[in-house]
Structure 1
Amino acid sequence: MMDRLRIDRLRIRPYDLPLRRAWRSARGGFERRHGWLVSAETDGAVGFGDCAPIPAAGTEDPESAESALLDARDFAPGRSTGEFLEMLDRGFAATPAARCALECALLDLVSQAECVPLRRMLAGDATDVVPVNGILGALATLTATDLEQAAAAGFRVVKLKIGVDEPSSEIARLMALALVVPADIRLRLDANGAWGFAEACRILDRLAGLPIESLEEPLRIPDPSLLHALQERAGFPLARDESLAGLAPDADLAELGVSRIVIKPAVIGGLRSALDLSRRAAIAGIEVVITGVVESAAGLWPAAQLAAATGSRLPHGLATADWLAEDLGVSPCLNGGRLLLSDRPGSGFKLYPDADLNPIPESRKEQSDYE
């Protein structure tokens, strides 16, 4: 199928989506999501991908992403999907968000042609249900009511951004919230590389006894030996996320210094690379969580299909649709803290007919006029 299916056209369309509230972390924040909807077309069928780079999360910058997308658009017409994927593998390592979007569009198209859900093309034993964590934003904005609402919605793990304010004030706030956290809720903390080693040690000691599910990226400089020392000190998993950017394909995952990795397909460079990394992690005894980059539904659907293919039963970081005030299509169905995936062929994404998209001109001359 990869060699028989040929691409008629590849379209690149920018989007600009407002958030319901600002996204804050130790690495900065944003109030809107900018990106490009990628669509691969053949014989009336369309496959979609989403390129939404965030350099602070480990992707390329937007300018590099757009340039890579336009190069791919010029290469695509008449190429087989297999030839196109080989081209991505050879030349797009420096632009992982663009590579991920292009690959998602191709794999969506191929799985439609094969009449299977994308997750089952990735792994025959993929599940139909993906557990997810609630995403409540920065600790400073969190209230007891937020926790109660998350519990009522069926979430058993909620994720909080820390490392934004002074450690002493954040620890005090966590200790106060711990008194009102519903009994079946655990807190997944993400420091986004906010601390030095000594500071991280002090914070871990203060977190002892609190309902912490895990802590992501505690160190500003993710030295594996220091992370290992912290993991030995902590009573819960530590995880690496954005510091996986640029990880060598043959890296020894047992030497990362942590017991969990958080895989963003847009950082790793696509679904196939992410799935391979998750399988290698499982062999090394390392837990896996799949998460996104607060992208549109066009990116959320393939990420959910990937999570279903990994076999990881941990809650994944894919309940981000409610952060967007507008979207390009309907997001995966969220019920009881789980994404429910249908048996529809492809990724599951369908574009709204009235989505606000302005195509980038499709010739280099028109492109120069556009710029």
Structure 2
Amino acid sequence: MKASYQKYILDFKQASGTSRGVLKQKETWFIIVEAQGEQGVGECGIFRGLSADDVPNYEDILKWTCANIHLGLDSLLEKLTAFPSIQFGLEMAFKSLESDNVFKLFPSEFTDGQQGIAINGLIWMGDASFMKEQIQSKIEAGFTCIKMKIGAIDFQTEIDLLKSIRKEFSAKDIELRVDANGAFLPSEALEKLKILSDLNLHSIEQPIRQGQINDMAQLCAETPLPIALDEELIGVFSEENKQTLLETIKPQYIILKPSLIGGFRGSNQWIKTAENLNIGWWITSALESNVGLNAIAQYTYMKNSELPQGLGTGGLFTNNFESPLQVENGYLKYSKTSNWNFNL
């Protein structure tokens, strides 16, 4: 068995705003595993500025991983605990190697094109007119769940945008989620959540910055609006620490981004822990290419969640890989008539 890696830069079709700044490009890496004439492909979707494994020697770790591929998946995953994106890339590559089809990792009614996955329509930050244009576009495209990133522009402007949706669509018609990416201060968060709760929102993701455990726990205890932990899960590696975090904060939901939390195994651990504590969850991509999105979507379908998932980012890039993944009427689907075009 041998392995190699390659860097790939994804270019956004248009600059995409978050509370951390504007994204124009997204770095990602691919691991190619080969054995007995067969090939497996995995994506290491590091997210600079957010991933726990965003370290200067990231490429050196990839190089070491490929040089030691003979150790096998279980051993490598154990040694790469601090590198969740590489763990996920390896899981994907080995699963791909073992599969009859290099990109069909979890054969199901989803990969057969018979079933889709309900997803949210993502609204990126920008000025009011840009955000309103996105909202209208998502509604016209058939989405019944919309997620709006907030926290970068004037709060009242964001409230007015949400109010404009609620004037036309009730909570039964359109489910609204908001994602603050940790933009609120602990001292102001509860008051802002009270204002947001008047708009019949489904939930808010990460209202305050990660790492403020006591403040987040108090907020989750007092909030009038369900809170979903997102960034808070990053860098929490052991099952014991996952248990402690969720028992301490007691959120209403957690959001799982496999590239940031150790892939399939990491996600399984979080799901088991959350369900034991009656905490809801859903799965979200983290700006991977269609290769990573494909793996996450297939895994997600197998988990049988009834909530809309966050899997619609594949169309953001100008140089993404052609794939069977298509968004149709608010669902991610696997088209039987489309093929993969994976050329690095």
Tell me the TM-score range normalised by the shorter chain.
0.7 to 0.9
Find the aligned partners of 2:248 and 2:95 in 1 and give their Cα distance.
Answer: 32
How far off its partner does 1:325 sit? 1.4
| SS of the residue 1:38 aligns to | strand
Q: Give the secondary-structure state (helix, strand or coil) at the position aligned to 1:103.
A: helix
Any idea what the Cα deviations from partners look like across 1:115-145, whole Å, max 9, x if unmatched? 9953369xxxxx9532111112116354444
Partner of 2:216: 227
User: Which of 117, 129, 142 is the aligned partner of 2:116?
Assistant: 129
Q: Does residue 274 of structure 1 match 2:267?
A: yes
* Compared CA separation, residues 342 and 149, structure 1 to 2 (3 A): closer
Code of the aligned partner of 2:289: S
Name the CA distance, whole Å, in 2 between partners of 1:23 and 1:185.
23
SS of aligned partner of 1:301: helix
Instruction: Confirm whether residue 350 of structure 1 aligns to residue 337 of structure 2.
Output: no
Partner of 2:233 in structure 1? 244
Structure 1: distance between partners of 2:48 and 2:12: 19
Question: Does 2:175 match 1:175?
Answer: no
- Displacement after TM superposition at 1:335 (Å): 2.0
Shift of 1:200: 0.7
| 2:134 corresponds to 1:146 | yes
Could you tell me which residue of structure 1 aligns to residue 96 of structure 2?
108
Q: Deviations over 1:77-112 (max 9, x none)?
A: xx3xxx421222221122211221122111222233
| Unaligned residue ranges in structure 1 (runs of 5+) | 1-6, 122-126, 358-371
CA shift, 1:185, in A, is: 1.4
- Between the aligned partners of 1:132 and 1:18, the Cα distance in structure 2 is 23
Identity %: 27
Confirm whether residue 19 of structure 1 aligns to residue 12 of structure 2.
yes
**Partner residue of 1:368?**
none
1:200 corresponds, among 189, 200, 209, to 189
> Secondary structure in 1 aligned to 2:82?
coil
How far off its partner does 1:155 sit? Answer: 1.4
Is the 2:147–2:176 contact (alpha carbons within 8 Å) kept by the matching residues of 1?
yes
User: Would you say how many aligned residue pairs link Structure 1 and Structure 2?
Assistant: 333
Is the aligned partner of 1:35 residue 2:28? yes
Q: Which amino acid aligns with 2:45?
A: A
Worse-superposed segment, 142-151 or 130-139:
142-151
> Conserved in 1, the CA contact under 8 Å of 2:17 and 2:126?
no
CA deviations 1:139-161 (Å, max 9, x no partner) are 63544443233123221111111
Q: Is 2:87 the partner of 1:99?
A: yes
Mean Cα displacement is larger for which, 260-269 or 234-243?
234-243
SS at match of 1:329: coil
Q: How far 1:214 sits from its partner (Å)? A: 1.1
1:300-319 matches, within 5 Å, as 300-319=293-312
Q: Distance in 2 between matches of 1:220 and 1:116?
A: 36
Rounded Cα–Cα distance in structure 2 between residues aligned with 1:266 and 1:19: 19
Distance in 1 (CA, whole Å) between partners of 2:167 and 2:100 is: 49
Q: Secondary structure at the match of 1:146?
A: helix
Stretch of structure 1 that moved more, 141-150 or 310-319: 141-150
Could you say what secondary structure the match of 1:138 adopts? coil
Aligned-residue RMSD, C-alpha? 2.8
Task: For 1:242 and 1:335, locate their aligned partners in 2 and report how far apart those are by CA, in whole Å.
Answer: 29
| CA deviation vs aligned residue, 1:198-228 (integer Å, no higher than 9, x gap) | 2111111111221412100001254444334
Partner amino acid, structure 1, of 2:262: G
Distance change in 2, residues 1:143/1:166 (3 Å): closer
Residues 69 and 221 (structure 1), Cα distance of their counterparts in 2 relative to 1, 3 Å cut = closer
| Whole-Å separation in 2 of the counterparts to 1:157 and 1:336 | 11
TM-score when normalising by structure 1: 0.80
For normalisation by structure 2, the TM-score amounts to 0.86
Which residue identity is paired with 2:263? G
Residue segments in structure 2 that go unaligned for 5+ positions in a row: 109-113
Partner of 1:363: none
